[in-house]
Structure 1
Amino acid sequence: MIRSMTGFARIERQYAFGRLSWEMRSVNHRYLDFSLRLAEEFRPLEADIRECLGQYLSRGKIEASLRFFAAAGSAGSGLELNLP
């Protein structure tokens, strides 16, 4: 299997409350240079997301973004975190 530090990936998922779009780009870099952009609704989870991704990344310049698009007609974001 060929392993490269240069790559691009995007995944989108549609839910009743809206659409989530996760995008990552990486290029060769001697050390780990990680940049993370999050939708406002996910900012409280930034430390957890960084820790999770850090388990899989060791070097490279990585740009990651998570965007949220609320469903039309939904009141507010309709997204509730940490529910049992």
Structure 2
Amino acid sequence: MRMLKSMTGYGRVSAVTEKMEITVEIKCVNNRYLDCSVRLPRIYSYLEEKIKKCVQNSFSRGKIDVSLTIVETAGQSGEITIDKQLLEGYLSALTQIRDTYHLKDDVTVSGIAKLPDVLTRK
């Protein structure tokens, strides 16, 4: 007798060490073909192909989303630093976009905080 296996599922696991907290989430839904997408921190982008290969070895079809979150905790204080040179580059580019395309100027502090690598924790 064959066991029916569902193609829809969700899994989440977290591990905490002295240096970091790692969380992996996997979401699967039915799909005719194998479609795998991986989200992870830029610094760990070199792992993307290895993760995709691992998924391909375990699944033959389905839409599979893998999300990896790594938060380093060791040796970090609560101090936040601003990469002023990078911020100035972003602001210059945003000003150029605004002027070129005649857009409303609505740069906000919360918008700046969302820009990659402008704010970092020591």
TM-score in same-fold range (> 0.5): yes
Question: Matches of 1:22 and 1:59 in 2, distance apart?
Answer: 20
For residues 4-83 of structure 1, what are the structure 2 equivalents within 5 Å?
4-71=6-73, 73-74=75-76
CA offset digits 1:4-41 (Å, max 9, x no partner): 00000000000111100000001111111111101223
Alignment partner, residue 111 of structure 2? none
RMSD: 2.2
Structure ranking higher on relative contact order (CA contacts 8 Å, 6+ apart): 1
Which of the numbers 2, 5, 9 marks the counterpart of 1:3? 5
> Does the 8 Å contact 1:17/1:74 carry over to 2?
no
- The percent identity for this pair of structures is 38
Q: For structure 2, list consecutive stretches of 5 or more residues without a partner in the other structure.
A: 78-119
Bigger-Rg structure (1/2): 2
Q: For structure 1, list consecutive stretches of 5 or more residues without a partner in the other structure.
A: 77-84
CA offset digits 1:31-59 (Å, max 9, x no partner): 11111101223211211111122100110
TM (norm. structure 1) is 0.79
**As a proportion of its length, which structure holds more strand?**
1
Aligned length: 77
**As a proportion of its length, which structure holds more helix?**
2
